[in-house]
C-alpha cells in the first residue's frame, strides 16, 4: 500500500482540508518517508511504520534541524508525523505508542497584532480618499478593507465574492478554509461601502463574475490590497504589522473588548477549534478580568 497518497486522500476527501494544507502535509511527510527509506533500509509501508521507534524520529528531526530549520518548522513536521500515525491507527489498527509520546520544541505563543480602532478607521478613510486614484478604485479599496475589519473576512474570502452577492445582504454566506461555510452579518457601514463601490464600478458585476475588479476588469489581485496597506501604513505612521490580516485580528479583538462571547467570535471567524480563537484572549486579558470580576458571584 502506498501510504502517503492514501493519507493525503483522507485529508482531502474526509477531513476536507484546504489544498495548501494538504500540500504542506505532503511535503513534510515525503521528506520523512524518504529518510525512513534510507534509515530503515526499505520501502515505507504500514509494517515499517509500526516498527519505527521514537529514536528514529528524533534522528530525523535532528537531521532537519542541522539543515537550519527553526523550532517552529520542526514542531510542524512532528505534528504532521503524528497526524499520519493517528490515521494509520484508526484506518489500519496499527498503533505506535512511542510516536504519540514524542514532544517537539516548545514554541513561544505569538499573539496576533491587531490595529487600534482609530487606526482601522483611518486606514479605511484614507483608502477611500487616496490621491491619484480613480474614484471607483478608491471605493473598491475601502469596501475590501471594510469587509476585513467590519466582517472579519480573510482577504481571500473577500475577493471570492461575486456579483451574486449584490446587493450586499445583512447576512453573507462565506465559504472559508477547507470548504467550511459560515454566515457572517454585515453591519450597515460595510454594506454601504460595497454599495458605493458597486454603483460606480465601470465593469458589469454579473452574478458569475468577481465582485472586486482590477483596473483592467479582471479579478482583483490580493497583492494590490497588500500594497495598499503598505502605502497607508507608511502615510499613517503605522508599524509593519498593519497588514490586511491585522484588520481581521482587530475585528475579533475589538469585539472581545466590547463583551462579545468567545464562541460567537469563533463562529464569525470560521475557526474550526476554539483554541485557535482563544489566542485573542491574550491580547485583551484586562477586559476578561473586568468581565470576570463583574460576573462571578464570589468576586
Answer yes or no: is pLDDT of 129 > 90. Answer: no
Please compute the mean of the pLDDT values over residues 7-36 and round it to a whole number.
90
Place 288 in a pLDDT band, splitting at 50, 70 and 90: low
Locate CATH 1.10.443.10 in the chain. 117-289
Q: Which fold has domain 3-101?
A: DNA polymerase; domain 1 (1.10.150)
What is the model's pLDDT at position 18?
82
Please compute the mean of the pLDDT values over residues 167-175 and round it to a whole number.
93
The residue to which cell 472579519 is assigned: 152
Please compute the mean of the pLDDT values over residues 97-108 and round it to a whole number.
75
| Largest separation between any pair of C-alpha atoms in the chain | 66
Locate CATH 1.10.150.130 in the chain. 3-101
What is the model's pLDDT at position 275?
72
The residue to which cell 466582517 is assigned: 151
Alpha helices by DSSP H, 181-261 = 188-200, 222-236, 244-257
241 DSSP β-pair partners = none
CATH of domain 117-289: 1.10.443.10
> How far is 9 from 107, CA to CA, in rounded Å?
30
70-74 long-range contacts, CB within 8 A, separation 24+? 71/104, 71/105, 71/106, 71/107, 72/107, 74/104, 74/105
Per-residue pLDDT of 201-259, as tens digits, reads 999 999 999 999 999 999 999 999 999 999 998 888 888 889 999 999 899 889 888 88
What is the model's pLDDT at position 21?
86
Catalytic residues, which ones? Answer: 154, 177, 245, 248, 271, 280
Angle of the 222-236 helix axis to the 117-128 helix axis, nearest 10 = 110
User: What's the mean per-residue pLDDT of the chain?
Assistant: 87
What is the model's pLDDT at position 109?
59
What is the model's pLDDT at position 19?
85
What is the model's pLDDT at position 1?
59
Residue 210's nearest CA partner among 129, 146, 156 is 156
What is the model's pLDDT at position 218?
95
> How far is 297 from 292, CA to CA, in rounded Å?
9
Answer yes or no: is pLDDT of 40 > 60. Answer: yes
Place 138 in a pLDDT band, splitting at 50, 70 and 90: very high
The residue to which cell 453573507 is assigned: 172
Name the DSSP class of 164. Answer: G
Provide the total of helices (H) and of strands (E) in the chain, helices listed first.
15, 2
pLDDT: which is higher, 212 or 278: 212
Amino acid at each position: 500500500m502506498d501510504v502517503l497518497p492514501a493519507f493525503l486522500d483522507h485529508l482531502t476527501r474526509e477531513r476536507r482540508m484546504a489544498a495548501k494544507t494538504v500540500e504542506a502535509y505532503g511535503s513534510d511527510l515525503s521528506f520523512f518517508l524518504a529518510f525512513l527509506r534510507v534509515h530503515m533500509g526499505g520501502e515505507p509501508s504500514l509494517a515499517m511504520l509500526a516498527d519505527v521507534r521514537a529514536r528514529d524520529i528524533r534522528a530525523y528531526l535532528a537531521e532537519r534541524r542541522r539543515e537550519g530549520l527553526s523550532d517552529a518548522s520542526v514542531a510542524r513536521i512532528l505534528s504532521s508525523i503524528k497526524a499520519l500515525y493517528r490515521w494509520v491507527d484508526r484506518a489500519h489498527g496499527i498503533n505506535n505508542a512511542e510516536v504519540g509520546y514524542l514532544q517537539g520544541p516548545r514554541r513561544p505563543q505569538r499573539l496576533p497584532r491587531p490595529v487600534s480602532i482609530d487606526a482601522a478607521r483611518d486606514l479605511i478613510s484614507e483608502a477611500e480618499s487616496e490621491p491619484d486614484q480613480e474614484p471607483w478604485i478608491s471605493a473598491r479599496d475601502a469596501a475590501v478593507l471594510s469587509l476585513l475589519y467590519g466582517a472579519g473576512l480573510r482577504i481571500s474570502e473577500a475577493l471570492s465574492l461575486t456579483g451574486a452577492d449584490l446587493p450586499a445582504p445583512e447576512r453573507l454566506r462565506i465559504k472559508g478554509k477547507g470548504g467550511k461555510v459560515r454566515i457572517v452579518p454585515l453591519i450597515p457601514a460595510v454594506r454601504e461601502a460595497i454599495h458605493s463601490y458597486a454603483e460606480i464600478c465601470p465593469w458589469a458585476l454579473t452574478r458569475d463574475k468577481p465582485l472586486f475588479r482590477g483596473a483592467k476588469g479582471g479579478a482583483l489581485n490580493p497583492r494590490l490590497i497588500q500594497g495598499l496597506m503598505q502605502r497607508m501604513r507608511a502615510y499613517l505612521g503605522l508599524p509593519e504589522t498593519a497588514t490586511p490580516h491585522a484588520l481581521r485580528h482587530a475585528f475579533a479583538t475589538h469585539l472581545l473588548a466590547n463583551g462579545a462571547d468567545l464562541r460567537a467570535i469563533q463562529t464569525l471567524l470560521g475557526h474550526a477549534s476554539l483554541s485557535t480563537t482563544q489566542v485573542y484572549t491574550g491580547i485583551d486579558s484586562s477586559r476578561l478580568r473586568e468581565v470576570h470580576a463583574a460576573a462571578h458571584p464570589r468576586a
